[in-house]
Amino acid sequence: MHFGLNEDQTMLQDSVGRYLEGASELALVRGFVDGDPALAAELQSGLMDLGVPFVLMPTEQGGLGMGVLEAALIQEALGRNVSPSPFTAAYGMVVIALRTCGDSDWLGRIASGEVVMGVGATEAIGAREGAGLALSGDKVSGRASFVMGAEAATHFLLTTGEQLLIVERGGAGIEEVALTTIDKTRHVVNLDLKAASAHLVSGNNHGEAQSKMIDTGRVLLAADSLGAASMMLEKAVAYSKDREQFNRPIGSFQAVKHMCAEMAAKLEPCRSLVWYAAYSQDHVPEEAALTSRLAKAHVSEIAKFVARTSTEVHGGMGFTDLLGLHYWFKRIGANRQLLGGPQAVREEAAQLQGWVA
């Protein structure tokens, strides 16, 4: 039996990766971070041309009807290139939620390109003091924090904890506050709502949809960190071959060899963990919740280790903007906390297995 990617999956990841190598090169990412929004719009258009927004979309809406594994492979490529794309939020989580609820109207609007949707799910995991939404009729009030996918969003999918609803960006009664996070390659916002108009997602299975949405988001964040950490490892190895001390490449020193080998040994098993967690979302539903938590928690820790060690291999140069390692370092740090940090997610995993009350 073959355990690995098939030819189509490999081709999908390779084609997206090749596109991003040119379209999301470091110089363009720097421009986005410095305030030029053009890159996000160009990536949105380019990924649309590649069919990325149709990967998880049901075939009835003109999509490709693929699974979370294919989405994770794309997300890994985005992480490798620190691409300022709302794919994780606006695509994966939202489409899974709407698919589960059977809301074909909003799925169709996303498929047509009319709507690009960000998502706020923090309140379903652990709301901060003063945050949370309350729905009264077709009006919603409260605060949605750490809303992802604000780069190009026209609408936001939010949750009250029990119900999923959609609000239009810039609508009456909606105040948007940009959050300053360590990761400048993606935009995260808070939304303060005061009797803002809301569209309730159709269907009665909002609880199931919310759970699947969060599980999918955690897998995609793990895949993003896997891609970012893989690139940091490759950069460390390449630098150790070029940088010389005492007329020798530093890669010939045993200490540096051990650092690179340890990064590779810790990171490579994460790939199969992420792939299986993504595969489980569609094909092993009884393991989907647990594997998403294990992948999110474990990859967060390993990616943090790789980010730190790669920077150490680069020495003082690792802290400079010249190499730009900090873009990957900070992206990994942000992924670690979004949708729950490792400690919180591990506690959820323990509860699922009956290890804690």
Whether 7-111 and 206-352 share one fold: the answer is no
Q: Where are the domains of the chain?
A: 7-111, 117-200, 206-352
Q: What is the structure's pLDDT at 38?
A: 86
Q: Which residues contact 72 (CB under 8 A, 6 or more apart)?
A: 219, 220, 222, 223, 274, 275, 278
Q: What are phi and psi of 125, to 5 degrees?
A: -105, -50
Q: How far apart are CA 223 and CA 221, in angstroms?
A: 5
Q: How far apart are CA 220 and CA 294, in angstroms?
A: 13
* Alpha-carbon Rg for the chain in angstroms: 20
What is the tens place of the pLDDT at every residue in 88-125?
666 889 999 999 999 999 999 988 888 989 999 988 88
Neighbours of 61 (CB within 10 A): 20
Q: What's the Cα-to-Cα distance from 57 to each of 184, 223, 283, rounded to whole Å?
A: 29, 19, 17
Q: pLDDT (tens digit, 0 to 9) for every residue of the chain, 357 residues total?
A: 567 899 999 999 999 999 999 999 999 999 999 988 888 888 888 988 898 888 999 888 888 899 999 999 999 999 999 998 877 666 889 999 999 999 999 999 988 888 989 999 988 887 677 788 999 999 999 999 999 988 888 999 999 988 999 999 999 999 999 998 999 999 899 999 999 999 999 998 999 999 999 999 999 999 999 999 999 999 999 999 999 899 899 999 999 999 999 999 999 999 999 999 999 999 999 999 999 999 999 999 999 999 999 999 999 899 888 899 999 999 999 999 999 999 999 999 999 999 986
Kindly give the pairing relationship between strand 188-197 and strand 199-200.
Answer: unpaired
- The CATH H-level (homologous superfamily) assignment of domain 7-111 is Acyl-CoA dehydrogenase/oxidase, N-terminal domain (1.10.540.10)
Q: What's the Cα-to-Cα distance from 214 to each of 251, 272, 302, 339, rounded to whole Å?
A: 41, 20, 21, 7
CATH label, 206-352, candidates 1.10.3720.10, 3.20.20.70, 1.20.140.10, 3.30.930.10: 1.20.140.10
Q: How far apart are CA 44 and CA 65, in angstroms?
A: 20
CATH topology of domain 117-200: Butyryl-CoA Dehydrogenase, subunit A; domain 2 (2.40.110)
Q: What is the structure's pLDDT at 129?
A: 76
State the alpha helices, DSSP H only, in the chain: 7-23, 26-33, 38-50, 68-80, 94-101, 104-111, 123-126, 206-242, 254-283, 285-313, 325-337, 342-352
Global pTM value: 0.95
